[in-house]
Amino acid sequence: MKILSVFILVLFFAFSGFSQSCQIRLSGHIEDADTKEKLQVATVRISELNMVIVTDTKGDFVFPDLCKGNYTLVVTHVNCDPVEQKIILEKDYHTDIVLPHSRKVLGDVVIEAQKGIPNSGFKKQLSGRSIDETRGMSLAEALSKLNGVTMLQNGSNVSKPVIHGLHGSRILTINNGVRQEGQQWGNEHAPEIDPFIAEKLEVIKGVDELRYGSDAIGGVVLVEPRALISKPGHHLEFNSAFFTNNRQFVLSALFEQQLKKQPAFRYRIQGTYKKGANVSTPEYRLNNTGNEEKNYSLTLGWKKQQWNTELFHSHFETTVGIFPGSHIGNISDLLSAIEAPKPSDVFLGQQAYRIGRPSQKVNHDLFKSKTVFFTNQHKFSLLLAGQFNQRKEFDVVRNAANTNPQLDLNISTYTEDLSLELPKKKNLTGTAGISAVQQFNDYRGRYFIPNYQSNAVGAYFIEKWSKHDWEWQAGIRYDHKGINTTRLKSNGDTINNQFQFSTFAGSFNVMYKPVDECKINMNLSLSSRAPYVNELLCDGIHHGTATYEKGDVGLKPERSLSLNTGAHFVHHDSWLELDFLAYVNVIRNFIYQQPMPDNPVLTIAGAFPLMSYQQTDALLSGFDFTAKCSLSKNVDLNTKLSYLDARNTKTNDWLVLMPANRISNEFVYLLKKNKKIQDGYLSLECMNVMQQKNIPGSMNGKQDYKVPPPAYFLLNVNSSVAFLVHKNRVTIGFSVRNLLNRSYRDYMNTMRYFTDEMGRNVCIRLKCQL
Amino acid sequence: MIVLMIASLSSCKKDAVPETNDEEVITTMKLTFVPVGGSASFTYQFDDSDGPGGNAPMQDSIVLSSSTSYVVTLQLLNKTTNPVTDLTTEIQTESDAHRFYYEPSVGSNLTVSQLDNDDNGVPLGINGTWSASTAATGTIKITLRHYPGTPPGKETSDPVNSTKSATDVEVIFNTIVQ
């Protein structure tokens, strides 16, 4: 594979002959992204040539007689935010451009099947205002603003996203085009990504999942940086935030430049520093709950007529304190913690940034190169990436002089992806790709998962057909993964295992737009996920839950068949926007932890309940509903409702740890724009999270020892105002989470056994763009 | 960078590293009984020499003579290391963050008293005196609690299930007084 990659690279560099001809026709069609309305009188400018054309009544435009070259199209319309598009012109070319409605900056949830393969299927997106509101938060916290996405937490500093009840290895996270590979199997392992890298966060389901793997049973999270600067000059952006609850401050800066003398070359440097002290609940402050993050990234881009290449490196480094009052030694400790109304005073009341044991320290480095070649309207992309992840967990130890981590995992992952986009022919477009992944894991200290090497190869093909009101898409993917594991015990014994898994995925999507205001989307997807090494071979005490977890080498891949149906409606005056998504996900061989009440594991710390990885059949079904309604010229109401049922169909029982149903209403007051104020709003959000009542019974062994916490209600405030200072855009934001300072606990937080959630948290944000 | 990455691909095959020993593992609790009045000492133990999981632990029943007192010394060992580590000294050093509790069952006719103290005068319990009265069978639960707080905040009045501390060791022995 490596040799092949090099060969292809060399081959592509050999393609460099080109000639000049100036009879190329560039045509296009402009639509409103929300309403799908054809936009007439939109201005289309080619910045390099300073040519301007206005669209006709059908929203179409044509530039005849252009020369070959790289062009930047700038499209502006009175109702919309301007859009820039880069075009590499070699032949006659047609482009469809959608303009985001300027009001859309307020919308954070869009489910749409846009034109073009990149955005097909089901998509929920966080960008613009909605991502600005999350600056300073973790990736999962930011994503949980999307309807249908929740969080699985271990205290306030460790959180991972949950999509429609599924998390961990059932969700793929794509960081700047690269599939994130760390120790994502653990419930206490948060994704190792600096959210400031992203301009956009998206959750997708459907045919496009196949580009990334056959195992996206829960969906795919895309962390998308913005494109590199596209005109000579430089751009500087500075973000900062301060949170009062834990005195957390965040500083992030980004600088990018395109050189005038060497316009093909662009670069960007970006860095983030974050530090927070101990977190306070409404009634008490929790010791050792600080956090620190040091991240940076560097992007270099080289763009020529027929090819462009991008090199990217990012470093993520975090240290997170874990509340010491959650340190439990066995099941009787867990039961006494559950009995206690609040943690002992010895773990409370310190206001400090210092992080001691227990804690986690995680580093993640990513190196990536992506090269794109254009020949005869074919687009080849070659992506090579290396990821190096180190996780160290520091437990409470008997000897204070001990500085060693108790769990120490190192995983290196190398990825090679080659994809080909075929030109559009008779309403058909196609994409095909092959990929390979090599992974090496080793551990020191306590055993939880073995050393392993894995090799995976995969191939996919996606075809899209669109005409008039219909769009059809279909895709298939096949992956094969081989895993060799080694556990070399201290007495010299070796335990070796070998596994081979083949997984297949297919997806079919149909979108129909009966009228401009309405869109219906339906998707049927088959995904399969090979068992992870922890599910096969973990063997040890899980301290957070006081259980003994044991893997099973006989596990088979999980297979999921999911049906998603979506409907989207926007009134032509856009005073009302409705969005509905219903899903049914049938998962065969669903891997879960089954309590084995008859076989407790006796250790010197007492008897631990045994949880064994087993397979069952699961049925997850639910819906997300979003409504956006203008109550008056300046006031909007946004409603989000999400509902989920998760069943173990073999035992005819509920599945454990599934997010509770929730509804939120947000009133938004929009400030009038004037010369000074570019954009401004004030919003009040009322969030209701129900009690999770659908929990497994104890007839098959106890899955949990505490009744899920009661329902809770939170009030949150968000506001921001943007204005120009010497032509530079400055945005000041102010928000309050848990305005009423309510004490509550959340079922999806492991700390629910021990402590309340964070109390009132006021945040001030400043963003400058120079 | 691409070349570097490809080069590193071919060089990244690593040999498996043997499991290094987890210094936090406790495999064995050993109790040494010295009868008051001079007869020979003897030991009883709970032994899980491969650590949690794997083979099941071996556990003695504690057999004592009626109307006798014993000076008992407790030892904790980690047998997964070579040589075996004695963890009792570590606990002695961090005595203000550790405490052993002895809970004989009702009707076992055992009492445990005169536990040794830490530097602050709060019971530690590495040494103590066990007194057996008349013949009976029962159990005794021995618990080691660890205080993770800084400062630990250990006090004489702390119950065995205090939320200040967590369990490092919890062993129940069957007892026979004859």
pLDDT in tens, B128-141: 999 999 999 999 99
In percent, the amount of chain A with pLDDT more than 90 equals 67
Tell me which of A55-69, A533-547, A606-620, A644-658 is least confident: A55-69
pLDDT score, position A425:
85
pLDDT above 60: residue A16 = no
The more confidently predicted of residues A410 and A489 is: A410
Question: If pLDDT is split at 50, 70 and 90, which confidence band does A489 have?
Answer: confident
Q: Does B23 touch chain A (CB under 8 A)?
A: yes
Mean pLDDT score of chain B, rounded to an integer?
89
Residue ranges of A 649-678 with Cβ closer than 8 A to chain B: none
Quote the Cα angle for A673-A677-A679, to 5°: 65
Under 8 Å between Cβ of B16 and A442: yes
User: What values do phi and psi take at A345, rounded to 5?
Assistant: -60, -20
CA distance A452 to chain B (A): 8
Tell me which of A4-13, A136-145, A556-565, B75-84 is least confident: A4-13
The more confidently predicted of residues B20 and A109 is: B20
pLDDT above 70: residue A2 = no
Distances (CA, A) of A117 to A27, A34, A413: 19, 18, 28
CB contact under 8 A, A540 and B52: yes
Under 8 Å between Cβ of A75 and A59: no
CA distance A257 to chain B (A): 21
The more confidently predicted of residues A63 and A745 is: A745
Of B6, B18, B90, the CB nearest to A490: B18
pLDDT in tens, A534-565: 999 999 988 878 899 999 999 999 999 999 99
Under 8 Å between Cβ of A174 and A195: no
Of A287, A325, A494, the CB nearest to B163: A325
Burial call A502-531: b when 16+ CB within 10 Å, e when fewer = ebebbbbbbbebeeebebbbbbbbbbbbbb
pLDDT above 60: residue B5 = no
Place of tokens 């992309």: A381
Enter the pTM of the model. 0.86
**DSSP codes, A717-755:** EEEEEEEEETTEEEEEEEEEESTT------TTBGGGGT-
Of B10, B18, B22, the CB nearest to A2: B10
CA distance A105 to chain B (A): 38
pLDDT in tens, B86-128: 999 999 999 999 999 999 999 999 999 999 999 999 999 999 9
Under 8 Å between Cβ of A215 and A528: yes
The residue of chain A nearest to residue B56, with distances taken between CA atoms, is: A602
The residue of chain B nearest to residue A345, with distances taken between CA atoms, is: B164
Mean pLDDT score of chain A, rounded to an integer?
89
DSSP H/E element including A486: strand A470-488
CB contact under 8 A, B2 and A9: yes
CB contact under 8 A, B5 and A488: no
The more confidently predicted of residues A180 and A24 is: A180
Residue at B8 is within a domain: no
pLDDT in tens, A372-426: 998 888 999 999 999 999 999 999 888 888 899 988 999 999 999 999 999 888 8
pLDDT above 80: residue B16 = no
Of A369, A400, A494, the CB nearest to B1: A369
Among positive and negative, which fits the CA dihedral A617, A208, A188, A738?
negative
pLDDT above 90: residue B13 = no
pLDDT score, position B32:
97
pLDDT score, position B129:
97
Q: Which residue ranges form the domains of chain A, and what is each CATH number? A: 2-100 (2.60.40.1120), 117-481+504-769 (2.40.170.20)
The more confidently predicted of residues B145 and A305 is: B145
pLDDT score, position A393:
93
pLDDT score, position A479:
97
Q: Which residues of B touch A369 (CB under 8 A)?
A: 1-2, 5
pLDDT score, position A70:
79
A362: helix, strand or coil? strand
Residue ranges of A 405-434 with Cβ closer than 8 A to chain B: 406, 412, 414
Residue at B4 is within a domain: no
pLDDT (mean) for A305-325? 95
pLDDT score, position A661:
97
Residue at B58 is within a domain: yes
pLDDT score, position B20:
60
CB contact under 8 A, B52 and A347: no
Provide ipTM, 2 decimals.
0.90
Does the N-terminal peptide bond of residue B123 adopt cis geometry, omega within 30 degrees of 0? no
Question: If pLDDT is split at 50, 70 and 90, which confidence band does A529 have?
Answer: very high
The residue of chain B nearest to residue A371, with distances taken between CA atoms, is: B2
The more confidently predicted of residues A582 and A8 is: A582
**Residue from B3, B9, B77, B91 whose CB has the most chain A CBs within 10 Å, to mutate:** B9
The residue of chain A nearest to residue B25, with distances taken between CA atoms, is: A446
pLDDT score, position B102:
98
Q: Does B72 touch chain A (CB under 8 A)?
A: no
CB contact under 8 A, B148 and A327: yes
CA distance B64 to B37: 14
**Counted domains in chain B:** 1
User: Could you give the count of Cα atoms lying within 13 Å of A179 in the half-sphere of its Cβ?
Assistant: 27
Q: Does B131 touch chain A (CB under 8 A)?
A: no
Q: Which residues of A touch B152 (CB under 8 A)?
A: 346
Angle between helices A2-14 and B2-10 (to 10 degrees): 160
Going by C-beta distance under 8 Å and a sequence separation of 6 or more, which residues neighbour residue A492? B18
Residue at B6 is within a domain: no
Structural domain including B85 reads: 23-154+163-177
Residue at B18 is within a domain: no
- Residue A213 φ/ψ region, left for φ over 0, alpha for ψ in the -120 to 50 degree band, beta for the rest: left
The more confidently predicted of residues A112 and A684 is: A684
* Residue A617 identity: D
Residue ranges of A 549-568 with Cβ closer than 8 A to chain B: 550
Residue at B16 is within a domain: no
Distances (CA, A) of A378 to A115, A296, A422, A626, B108: 18, 34, 5, 39, 85
Q: What is the CATH number of the domain that holds B125?
A: 2.60.40
What DSSP designation does A306 have? S
Residue at B2 is within a domain: no
Q: Does B159 touch chain A (CB under 8 A)?
A: no
pLDDT (mean) for B36-63? 92
DSSP H/E element including A460: strand A451-467
Q: Does A688 touch chain B (CB under 8 A)?
A: no
CB contact under 8 A, A440 and B93: no
Q: Which residues of B touch A490 (CB under 8 A)?
A: 18-21, 80-82
- Residue A211 φ/ψ region, left for φ over 0, alpha for ψ in the -120 to 50 degree band, beta for the rest: alpha
Q: Which residues of B touch A5 (CB under 8 A)?
A: 6
Residue at B32 is within a domain: yes
pLDDT (mean) for A643-667? 96
CB contact under 8 A, B20 and A445: yes
Q: What is the 3-state secondary structure (H, E, C) of A586-606?
A: EEEEEEEEEEEEEEEEEECCE
pLDDT in tens, A22-33: 778 888 888 766
CA distance A214 to A528: 6
